[in-house]
Amino acid sequence: MPAMNNILSKWVPVAERSRSLALVYSGMYLGSVTGLAFSPFLIHRFGWPSVFYSFGSLGTVWFTVWLSKAHSSPAEDPQLRPAEKKLIVSSCASKEPVKTIPWGLILSKPPVWALIVSHFCHNWGTFILLTWMPTYYNQVLHFNLTESGLFCVLPWLTMAFSANLGGWIADTLVSKGLSVTTVRKIMQSIGFLGPAFFLTQLSHVDSPAMAVLCMACSQGTDAFSQSGLYSNHQDIAPRYSGVLLGLSNTAGVLAGVFGTAATGYILQHGSWDDVFKVSVGLYLVGTAVWNLFSTGEKVVD
């Protein structure tokens, strides 16, 4: 993911940043849908090792194509038309290669810490939804495991659609003259407050269909974060966007580790409502930190 962010900063003009990042991330969402959809069939017909052989083989095919078609920057691509190369190079903020990383400068900037804290708050809720939802569907909604697997696909489909919708909205707002800072704050606020709202509704719904709908809407609004904090790495430090994503995603992964473990502990001593309350609280903390300290302007050159 840091490498992906870094390469996009060299290949994609600022005005197309949100759309490009959303499109790339939607591949991850659609891949999850495909995996969840085909894995049961493969296991049933050919045994569980077939899942690993199949997806491993696809990875090998992708790697072969990547080696022959991918280039670190437009200047290194021999097949790129001169006019297109000139447009990309003149519009992208990241040009010079990075030789040293100014860690002290990076870590001294409040917008960097806003990214790190917000990524932690964001991923806490996301990881809980993605890792514990089959259990929730089974224990609370009383779906069997096969039905749970099918319903787990819905949030990923919703995220793939809404991430691209959010990217289009964000880039349109920027092209119409709204500041990048304002756009990032709007999109990430939706990415925080949307999931928070729909999680609070789960305790009030009385049908499995409405509960699944709340889950899908929660993840759908969550995907607006692709045009918020995930795009912001390239805004504030385009040359070090990979480094920044590495830092913030470390916090995000730690949120997944602690959040998954904490959820198990909470369920032993409390209820699902308590689990959702913790997520909502962190979403609200993330919203406050993001709107107070984030920016869409470059802070590290």
Average pLDDT across each block of 10 residues of the chain; the chain has 301 residues. List them in order.
80 83 86 82 90 94 92 84 81 68 93 96 86 76 65 81 93 92 96 93 79 87 92 88 91 92 89 89 96 93 77
36/163 same-domain check: no
Q: What is the pLDDT of residue 147?
A: 60
**Residues of the domain holding 175:** 100-300
26/140 same-domain check: no
pTM of the full structure = 0.84
208/256 same-domain check: yes
User: Of 46, 69, 94, which residue sits at a domain end?
Assistant: 94
Is residue 290 within 8 A of residue 188, CB to CB? The reply is yes
50/177 same-domain check: no
273/160 same-domain check: yes
DSSP class per residue in 143-203: --HHHHHHHHHHHHHHHHHHHHHHHHHHHHHHHTT--HHHHHHHHHHHHHHHHHHHHHHGG
68/134 same-domain check: no
Q: Report the C-alpha gap between 120 and 129 in whole angstroms.
A: 14
119/169 same-domain check: yes
User: Of 94, 128, 154, which residue sits at a domain end?
Assistant: 94
Q: What is the pLDDT of residue 213?
A: 86
The residues, ordered by sequence, that sit 6+ positions from 149 with a Cβ below 8 Å of its Cβ are 36, 40, 134
213/117 same-domain check: yes
Q: What is the pLDDT of residue 145?
A: 56
Structurally, the chain folds into a number of domains equal to: 2
CATH, residue 129: 1.20.1250.20
Q: Report the C-alpha gap between 271 and 163 in whole angstroms.
A: 31
58/105 same-domain check: no
136/270 same-domain check: yes
154/82 same-domain check: no
84/117 same-domain check: no
User: Of 78, 94, 110, which residue sits at a domain end?
Assistant: 94
Q: What is the pLDDT of residue 123?
A: 92
